Chains A and B, each alone.
Chain A
Amino acid sequence: MRIALFITCVNDLAFPATGIAVTRILRRLGHTVDFPADQTCCGQMHANTGYRAEALPMVRNYVDVFDSYDAIVAPSGSCTAMIRDQYPRLHPPATSVAARTYELSELLVDVLGVTDVGAEFPETVTYHPTCHGLRMLRLGDRPLTLLRQVRGIKLVELGDAEECCGFGGTFAVKNPDVSTAMLTDKCARVRDTGARVLAAADNSCLAHIGGGLDRHRSGVRAVHYAEILAETGASS
């Protein structure tokens, strides 16, 4: 199976550790991963802010870059949802490649049939199901299924877990007061758990929640769950 990694623009620039983690997990499981260098951005920010025409060139580029692969994996629920849910409507020739694009937990659990990726992570972790993964991709408990197999991990439940953190892409800057109010409540629920690590499937949401946690010096670290799955306890 030819697997390609779609890193996403935000991860490429600000969260390379997540992409490195995905690469390590898949290689550890014996798969070869390609990183086609011509990839850019899925176009979600443009499409969801009302700039569909400006998003279309990115959609076309995605088709050009990824159409030849059997499976494309993206470490982002929200970018994957953009591709799977919106691409077929925006650009019908993208329908086929969209259906072959998976969020990491879908690729591992559904396509590769793996739930134990051989990870070890001795920390207390709480998991926030980000909205597009939860309600558009219907990831269900796939990410948690993977996390439960991690050796040494202590998973604690997040209160009001399914409530949006208030990021919402450009919402965070267009509606800063409401966004901050939602963030404050989410950060409080995270702190209530006593976890030292907050995990999620989207670094954009994590940058928002983690940015709020850092601002209040909560001591809670926000990490993409791929980075937990990549840990083996051995120094890397």
Chain B
Amino acid sequence: MSHPVAPATGGGRIRTPLPFPTAAKPAVADPQLRANLHRATRTIRAKRARVVDEVPDWEALRDAGSAIKADVQRRLPELLEQFEASATAAGATVHWARDAAEACRIVVALTRAAGADEVVKVKSMATQEIELNEALEAAGIAAYETDLAELIVQLGEDAPSHILVPAIHYNRAQIREIFQRRMPDAPADLSDEPAALAEAARVHLRRRFLSARVAVSGANFAVADTGTLVVVESEGNGRMCLTLPETLISVVGVEKLLPTFTDLEVFLQLLPRSSTGERMNPYTSMWTGVTPGDGPQTVHIVLVDNGRSAVLADPVGRPALSCIRCSACLNVCPVYERAGGHAYGSVYPGPIGAILSPQLTGVADNASLPYASTLCGACYDVCPVKINIPEILVHLRQQAPHPPAERATMRLLSWVMRSPRRWAAALRLARAGAGPLGAYRQRRTGVRTLRRLPWPASAWTRSRDLPLPAPQTFREWWGKQ
């Protein structure tokens, strides 16, 4: 099948309003936030390492996960049609949404058709991506997040900062403060003990579960051969939403497909160990269309593209669609730990966000994100589906618009360094130019480094001394041998 036009890019909350270096400043300067992130990411990181190390065939599982996802990407159109046929045969209604706006229109229309003015929500990245809560609110429909961390973020009128732990940037004292300020039924003497906070949320949410007629979810997996959707969670609030209301609407990115039900064997091992660091997650809910007399009797599935076909069209960047949203890459990323999730300006933060968001929007719209990494490779090591994030970052840097001064400098350096003669001359020049300065400094201070330089070199010298060229280059030493 050939596309007459290039696949469309995506909309929703996947664009950085500010360049990453600017957006990272508040987090870097906030010691409380840095401490929260440091503690939380290291705790999950250690748990993950423990439960991954005990699996003897972990590397084989990663290879299998990676291969299954690559197969899905090769056969996506065919598998999507198979999924639609299976789900429809089981009593679900499948809708197709080209982008965020179309997906939101479909969910709003379905909610209205069900006669509801409120929905309960299962934690879902896809609905955060398409900004569904905002669209529902604009249509006069209240959307209630029921995942504890999403609830905290929603009550705080904030945005999620982590894929798995959306409120990772808060500590429990801050959460207590949000509950007391924004949750009308919170007890007056609420403590910041985790059990007390969870109990307050439980009481608050229980009423919502019992009254809601429509639930909105995402899905971790969509199985093509059976038409089954799967939600993996820890709290059980998701299962409340998936079983109690009459109508269930699930918003699913097209990349979530798996060819067969047995493929779940691989992913239900990879996901919990990589995300929460558990051997098995407490609740895995699966549903296949409608089961008469049991659970929601009206089941809708909205399949969303929102830029994914554009990602699929790039063979180097494509593996970003293999992501199962486990967050292992966020939890090991030293840049994420200092910058926090909001700096990425997208619902997908961290290393995976740095390769996914720019591909969904087109790199020009998220040009700073591919550079938001030292290419240290810690993310690639922990990825359960072996996405080579550093390789894709470098690939996207090729496409990013380059600042003119940087481009000119890079071209000049390349011109010098491609020629042995020019490079040798440049070395002599640099040594001769800096030599007396270095020698003078060394006499005065004992070190051959510079402490303060004007812009743009100040980006280096603001926090580190700069070594000066040596009094004799290596090739000069060699030549005198």
| Contact surface of A with B, Cβ cutoff 8 Å | 7, 9, 11-17, 19-20, 23, 35, 37-41, 43, 45-52, 54-55, 57-58, 60-61, 65, 131-132, 134-136, 162-164, 166-184, 207-208, 210-212, 214-215
Contacts and interface: CB of A to CB of B under 8 A. Distances in A.
Given A20-B474, A177-B21, A177-B25, A168 B375 contact: yes
B55 interface: no
Nearest to A163: B334
B161 to A, nearest CB: 15
27 contacts: A7-B475, A9-B417, A11-B474, A13-B473, A19-B474, A19-B477, A37-B478, A40-B417, A41-B423, A50-B370, A50-B397, A54-B414, A132-B377, A134-B377, A135-B380, A162-B378, A173-B459, A175-B372, A176-B460, A177-B21, A178-B24, A178-B338, A184-B463, A207-B467, A210-B467, A212-B464, A215-B451
Interface stretch (B276-284, B300-308, B424-432): B424-432
Name A's interface SS.
helix
B376 A215 contact: no
B28 A181 contact: yes
A50 B376 contact: no
Contacts of B476: 16
Given A50-B397, A162-B378, 16 more contacts: A15-B470, A35-B478, A48-B397, A50-B394, A50-B398, A131-B375, A172-B459, A172-B460, A175-B371, A175-B372, A180-B463, A182-B334, A211-B449, A211-B467, A212-B464, A215-B464
B21 A178 contact: yes
A38 B417 CA distance: 10
Interface string B411-443: 101100111100110010011000000000000
A73 to B, nearest CB: 14
A52 B407 CA distance: 12
Contact of B398 (A40, A52, A177): A52
A22 to B, nearest CB: 10
Contacts of B468: 14
B420 A38 contact: yes
Contacts of A55: 414
A12 B473 contact: yes
Name B's interface SS.
helix
Contacts of B378: 131, 135, 162-164
Interface in B154-189: none
B21 A176 contact: yes
Contacts of B466: 207, 211
Given A135-B378, A164-B374, A212-B464, A46 B449 contact: no
Contacts of B400: 50
Contact of B410 (A17, A49, A181, A182): A49
A37 B177 CA distance: 67
Contacts of A131: 374-378
